[in-house]
Amino acid sequence: MSILIGSHVSISKGLIGAAETAHSYNANTFMIYTGAPQNTRRKPLEDMKIEEGKEFMKEHDIRDIVVHAPYIINLASVKDDIYELAQSFLKEEIRRTEVIGSNYIVVHPGSYTVKDTDYGIDKIAEGLNNVLTNDTKPYICLETMAGKGSEVGKTFEELRRIIDKVELKDKIGICFDTCHTHDSGYDIINNFDGIMEEFDNVIGLDRLKVFHINGSLNIRGSRKDRHANIGADTTNKRGLDQIGFESLYNIVHSDICDNKPLILETPWIDKKTNLYKEEIAMLRGI
């Protein structure tokens, strides 16, 4: 079995800086935002030391990196200006993802606010149909969501309904987030194999491209989306992990995760301290 595991890393020092940080964590993959996730300001690609980063990754066997689209992309928005921005900016993020050399861009489906789920699903699919072309290279990986507020994507069925309305279905993948699925009500602690069977029946395992491996501060079904450090106990400043190390370890070592990018988005303990290196080692079983 090949465990491909890493974390979110900063790209502030370019792709080479991101790759070097990932390597310092003993990671063999990683995830980046191509700029700040809260806004549209982006550094020109020619300033991001992409070729240096690719060469470093090749030398250190780092591969299948993941790009995360910014939070400001809301394909379910009821506001025309936000909806148009979501489409145009997603197009640009896809272009940047291709140049960086990633095959996966993770996208939060969107939130419909004052409308309903049917409206949200229709708008998301419409937006994807406007964005995707036959030349689109990376998979658009819709993320499983916790169900906070009016988020679309809290169930496999909602994600399936989006996919059914997308014309270029072969461009769509899924990013399975352990915190989100736990918080939305799926029992990944006691029945991960059963959940995967359900996923296969509803969506199809062939669409499962990326995992976000996160603990949760919440009990199952809380719909809150608050990440915890892997297996954290009550001494952890960020709080107790309600999923637990054993469950997350078993998920990482399951056949379904073989050779798929597994990305940690766990909390930093403070502004200068994160546990990524330790958590990666724990999950590898080192």
Domain CATH number, residue 252:
3.20.20.150
Nearest residue to 89 via CA among 122, 284, 12, 77: 77
User: Given a cut of 80, is residue 286 above it in pLDDT?
Assistant: no
Average pLDDT rounded to a whole number, residues 23-40: 95
Q: How confident is the model at residue 31 (pLDDT cuts 50, 70, 90)?
A: very high
pLDDT surpasses 90 at 37: no
- Beta-strand runs (E) in the chain: 4-7, 31-32, 66-68, 104-107, 139-143, 172-177, 208-213, 215-216, 227-228, 261-264
Distance between CA atoms of residues 224 and 216, nearest Å = 9
Please compute the mean of the pLDDT values over residues 47-73 and round it to a whole number. 98
Model confidence pTM above 0.85: yes
For residue 232, the enclosing domain spans 4-284
Average pLDDT along the chain: 97
Cα 83 to Cα 67, 111, 219: the distances in Å are 21, 11, 33
Residues flagged as binding site: 68, 108, 143, 177, 180, 212, 225, 227, 265
Summarised one tens digit per residue, pLDDT across range 94-152 is: 999 999 999 999 999 999 998 999 999 999 999 999 999 999 999 999 999 999 999 99
**Binding-site residue positions for Zn(2+):** 68, 108, 143, 177, 180, 212, 225, 227, 265
pLDDT band at 280 (very low <50, low <70, confident <90, very high): very high
Structural domains of the chain, count? 1
User: What type of residue sits at position 218?
Assistant: N
Phi, psi of 154 (to 5 degrees): -80, -15
